[in-house]
Structure 1
Amino acid sequence: MALHVSVKFRCFVLLLCLQLVSVQIAVATSRPIAKPGCKDRCGNVSIPYPFGIADGCFLDEWFKVTCNDSLNPPKPVYRGLSVSNISVLDGEMTTEVGIATNCDDQHAADDSMTFLGKFTFSNKKNKFIAIGCNTVALHKATNGSISGGCLSICTAKDTFTNGFCNGIGCCETRIPAAISNLSVTVEDINERKNMSFNLCGYGFLVEQNSFSFSSPYLKDFKSKGTGTVPAVVDWTIGNEKCDDAIRNSTSYACGPNTL
């Protein structure tokens, strides 16, 4: 009986130790790491290698981040876009992107253009949104050709469903894979006459878990589209395969989005 209790106790201790080790490994692998001697944060955002702020701290110019210390808290900026998160494990970065608008009280529509260069917008974690009545939002490729879009229609008598983009007041779709430059335009397909509840149409790409439609957006969304929304960017390290890159421990920084 004593032997049986002793064996069970040892198994329990072994199991506990294995759990503690797995937790330590998970914490260690999830902790962003900057190059030695380099700043690893900007405000509340971690800046892990291959990204970096100062010269010698990033892999190459595609991974250069600046820190806007004039804000409180400071904000990291990548190619003019504010950054709220960088993940090495996922090979992702969350940035703030602009909103295309078409308002009745404006002489011309305000398009939104975002240029990532080497990196691409995630077509799995983002969705393309159009908000408005009789509004079509289009996203265009680098050469100006239309790559996709969606149409939202409604009248003053429509009943809107908060939380859903079903084409009535709000529509949603996906973007193609490997889009690095995003140009968004919004068109009014039928003048919004006598629609005091909807003076603007909007079009934008947004991280799918960060947006849920609400009928008040028809009257005003993000200060008439002058604000920004978060979007997920996939990043890779050149064309080097992870199996090759991992052999160089000083520069290894592969995530699932790498080749």
Structure 2
Amino acid sequence: LPWLIRAASSDCHETCGSVVIRYPFGIRTGCYYNPWFRVTCNQTTNGPKPFISRINLELLHFPKTGDTVFVNNPVIYLNCDNKGNNGTTTSASVNLQGSPFFFSSRFNRLGSVGCGYVAAVFHDNLTDPIASCLQQRCSDQTSEFSLYRRRGTTFPTCYAPISED
């Protein structure tokens, strides 16, 4: 628990966009516990967003208590047009081996952003999803109505738990 002792005396009060960066994470040298906890504040089209530098995951939220952070992990997506034709499948995996981080089975969720979409996670085939999420229809509206905003951060409204198995 050495980071708790240092956090109490630290002069590092950092933010990136609307996210307050809490120790052991930090942006400036001397404000993070070790290089695994270094945060980069990247400028995006939606404003500045914090990323854990070594694993390139966006930090969404730091609960006030506990040792958990919420990250955005866009693992797999499939682009389809409105006629059902398949587009490009993109995969981005995160290697946490050797890092102090792991994905919690308690908090690991599939979140779907937008409207009129079906999102699913498959273990090793395309026949038995381990989690899925169905968004409501768009009705010619933008996808904004299907999102929940909290302190300037947008979260999807359709969630499904992902099991440990």
Q: Which bin holds the TM-score, normalised by the shorter protein?
A: 0.5 to 0.7
Contact 2:111–2:156 (CA under 8 A) maintained in structure 1: no
Residue 30 of structure 2 is aligned with which of 56, 61, 73?
Answer: 56
Of the candidates 70, 90, 107, which is equivalent to residue 94 of structure 1? Answer: 70
Aligned equivalent of 1:45: 19
Q: Residues 34 and 61 (structure 1 numbering): CA distance in 2 closer, same or farther, change over 3 Å? A: farther
C-alpha distance in 1 between matches for 2:48 and 2:31: 19
Alignment pair present for 1:109 and 2:54: no
TM-score when scaled to structure 1?
0.38
- Name the counterpart of 1:138: 122
Kept in 2, the 8 Å contact 1:34–1:48? The answer is no
Give the aligned residue type for 2:89. Answer: A
Query: Which residue pairs with 1:213 in the alignment?
Result: 134
Question: Alpha carbons of 1:85 and 1:107: their partners in 2 closer, same or farther (altered >3 Å)?
Answer: closer
Name the CA distance, whole Å, in 2 between partners of 1:91 and 1:149: 35
**1:127 corresponds to which of 92, 109, 133:** 109
2:89 counterpart SS class: coil
State how 1:128-207 maps to structure 2 within 5 Å. Answer: 128=110, 132=118, 137-139=121-123, 146=124, 151=128, 172=131
Of all paired residues, the percent bearing the same amino acid is: 25
Per-residue CA distance 1:60-87 (angstroms, 9 max, x = gap):
1111111125666422111322212123
Q: CA deviation at 1:37?
A: 3.1
Q: 2:51 aligns with which of 77, 82, 91?
A: 77
For the residue of structure 1 that corresponds to 2:41, the secondary structure is strand
Code of the residue aligned with 1:120 in structure 2: it is F
Q: Decide which structure has the larger Cα Rg and report it.
A: 1
Give the distance between the partners of 1:149 and 1:35, measured in 2 at CA.
Answer: 52
Q: Higher RCO, 1 or 2 (CA under 8 Å, sep at least 6)?
A: 1
Are residues 87 and 75 of structure 1, via their aligned partners in 2, closer, same or farther at CA, if it must alter by over 3 Å? Answer: same
Q: What RMSD, in angstroms, separates the aligned Cα atoms of the two structures?
A: 4.0
Identify unmatched segments of 5+ residues in structure 1.
Answer: 1-32, 140-145, 153-170, 173-202, 204-211, 223-227, 232-259
Greater strand share, structure number: 2
Distance 1:109 1:74, change over 3 A: closer
Distance 1:229 1:35, change over 3 A: farther
What displacement does 1:149 show? 8.4
* In 1, Cα distance between equivalents of 2:108 and 2:127: 15
Match in the other structure for 2:151: none
The number of residues matched between the two structures is: 125
Kindly indicate whether the alpha-carbon contact (under 8 Å) linking 2:42 and 2:48 is maintained by their aligned counterparts in 1.
yes
* Deviation per residue, 1:129-160 (Å, 9 max, x gap): 7975xx97424xxxxxx4x98736xxxxxxxx
Change (3 A) 1:81 1:34: farther
The structure richer in helix per residue is: 1
**Which ranges in structure 2 are unaligned for 5 or more consecutive residues?**
1-6, 144-154, 160-165
In structure 2, what is the Cα distance between the partners aligned to 1:109 and 1:215?
23
